[in-house]
Amino acid sequence: MSPAWYIDGLPHIWPPYGNFPADFDPLPVVGAEGCRLTLADGRELIDGIASWWSAAHGYQHPHIISALHAQLDTLPHVMFAGLAHEQAYTLAKRLTAITPGGWEKGKGLTRVFFSDSGSVAAEVAMKIALQYWLNMGKPKKDRFICLNDGYHGDTFGAMSVSDPANGLHRAFRNNVIKHFAIPIPTDEYSFEELKETLDAVAGQVAALIMEPLVQGAGGMKFHSADTLGAIHRLCVEREILFIADEIATGFYRTGSRFACDEAGIVPDILCLGKGLSGGVLPLAATLTKESIYEAFLGEGEGGPRERALAHGPTYMANALACAAANASLDLFQREPRRDQVEAIEVQLLAELTSLKAAPGVKDVRVKGAIGVVQLDIPRPQLYAMRPQFVAEGVWLRPFADIVYTTPPLTITAEELSTVTGAMQRVVRAWSEGA
């Protein structure tokens, strides 16, 4: 029996990405602790996707909760234009210390622009890249290079650099600015092709934007650190800014603290979100090198406003969200997240790889705390798996042609086995019937 608030509210909710399958209504959640969600009817589900891979430390971590209580009692929010507060300033300094390049002079990311969602962090990155070249006297560099299967959010700028063909944003294909979408190079030949494309368009291009190592919403596709390093090098050699969207990959999800670290590269602009606040409040950040920030200083022909970045969300650097993020960074520092991800990776490989042999399974791949089973399956059959996972006591949300898990990094071995066991059973049942 669903609670009254659920029955009364359901006809008024517009759910994200629509409701699939149509007969599977959202599940009423009344609590969450560790890696478990409690439903209104008392059932518990192990969360295998960590609230869209944001709840890196699990739910209700006492350190984050007490930081939030303390902040709530002093300053939940204050506007960020012309005013300052400790949580944001401390967080900005800490982020510049731990992101690729660190405080190495002239190399690292020194400036942080806070916003309230990953999509907006990507928008801000794009605006910074465009205006950087405008301020540098190169207004023709006003296009982006993006990758097939990429995803950077649902707002217009972000949609324009997400894969135009991957379906999600197809309805808007005539409403977004066209950029240069390229495949990820996989061999010497395709690298040569990429080089030629970049040579041809560099004069028109502000930046290349990509998700390093793992393309998430585009189907959880992986590429190597060598490929990432090579693409970055091609950009550096051609005056193309490199935007790393680490909204999903940041904070150990792929194994290293940031995916860029595995390739040893420092992007010009970096986007963070999701695990940044430990999955409790909306917060995202766009970081840049000092040389980029400097291009926005001084007076333009029309006065100082002309060179400045015209962006400033109402809830920019919300103090509660920044307090959660500072507490989240404490946990990334003091708890063994890297080791936990290593253990998750080993376990996912051990418990999922056998599915490779099942009929209809196209691929099984694992990277850090990401486990993916790719199927040759019609979408309705894939969506039908969602309630089957609930019946197994786990929360997973297959999409496109994949069943995947991105659990909280704090998941226990036993809980993870429950998740992988459910993946085994549900996929095999489909595979045998297919």
Ligand X SMILES: Cc1ncc(COP(=O)(O)O)c(C=O)c1O
Q: Residues 143, 152, 365, 367: which binds ligand X (CB under 6 A)?
A: 152
Residue 383 appears among annotated catalytic residues: no
Q: Choose the binding region for ligand X from 55-63, 243-251, 320-328, 373-381 (rule: CB under 6 A).
A: 243-251
211 sits near ligand X (criterion: CB under 6 A): yes
The smaller minimum CB distance to ligand X, of residues 51 and 431, is found at: 51
Active-site hit among 59, 132, 151, 404: 151
- Distance, CA of 71 to CA of 80 (rounded, Å): 16
**Token pair listed for 211:** 């998700």
Residues 41-60 that bind ligand X (CB under 6 A): 52
Residue type, 128: I
153 sits near ligand X (criterion: CB under 6 A): yes
Q: Residues 71, 117, 256, 288: which binds ligand X (CB under 6 A)?
A: 117
Backbone angles phi, psi at 359, to 5 degrees: -60, 140
Residues 257-276 that bind ligand X (CB under 6 A): 273
Binding mask 217-236 toward ligand X (x if CB under 6 A, else -) reads x-------------------
Q: Choose the binding region for ligand X from 31-39, 60-68, 245-253, 354-362 (rule: CB under 6 A).
A: 245-253
The smaller minimum CB distance to ligand X, of residues 95 and 427, is found at: 95
- Distance, CA of 167 to CA of 204 (rounded, Å): 27
The smaller minimum CB distance to ligand X, of residues 135 and 286, is found at: 286
Judge whether 129 and 243 are in contact, CB under 8 Å. Answer: yes
Residue 17 appears among annotated catalytic residues: yes
At its nearest, how many Å lie between ligand X and the CB of residue 138?
27
Q: Residues 48, 58, 118, 278: which binds ligand X (CB under 6 A)?
A: 118
At its nearest, how many Å lie between ligand X and the CB of residue 357?
30
Q: Residues 46, 68, 122, 145: which binds ligand X (CB under 6 A)?
A: 122
Binding mask 307-346 toward ligand X (x if CB under 6 A, else -) reads ----------------------------------------
Residue 59 appears among annotated catalytic residues: no
Binding mask 164-183 toward ligand X (x if CB under 6 A, else -) reads --------------------
Q: Choose the binding region for ligand X from 29-37, 64-72, 116-124, 426-434 (rule: CB under 6 A).
A: 116-124
119 sits near ligand X (criterion: CB under 6 A): yes
Active-site hit among 141, 221, 274, 289: 274
Q: What is the 3-state secondary structure (H, E, C) of the chain?
A: CCCHHHHHHHHHCCCCCCCCCCCCCCCCEEEEEECEEEECCCCEEEECCHHHHCCCCCECCHHHHHHHHHHHHHCCCCCCCCCCCHHHHHHHHHHHHHCCCCCCCCCCEEEEEEECCHHHHHHHHHHHHHHHHHHCCCCCCCEEEEECCCCCCCCHHHHHCCCCCCCCCHHHCCCCCCCEEECCCCCHHHHHHHHHHHHHHHHHEEEEEECCCEECCCCCEECCHHHHHHHHHHHHHCCCEEEEECCCCCCCCCCCCCHHHHHCCCCCEEEECHHHHCCCCCCEEEEEEHHHHHCCCCCECCEHHHHCCCCCCCCCCCHHHHHHHHHHHHHHHHCCHHHHHHHHHHHHHHHHHHHHHCCCEEEEEEECCEEEEEECCCHHHHHCHHHHHHHCCEECCCECCEEEECCCCCCCHHHHHHHHHHHHHHHHHHHHHC
The smaller minimum CB distance to ligand X, of residues 245 and 351, is found at: 245
Q: Choose the binding region for ligand X from 126-134, 240-248, 251-259, 337-345 (rule: CB under 6 A).
A: 240-248
The smaller minimum CB distance to ligand X, of residues 119 and 347, is found at: 119
Which parts of this chain interact with ligand X (CB under 6 A)?
52, 117-119, 122, 151-153, 211, 216-217, 245, 247-248, 273
Catalytic amino acids?
Answer: 17, 151, 245, 274
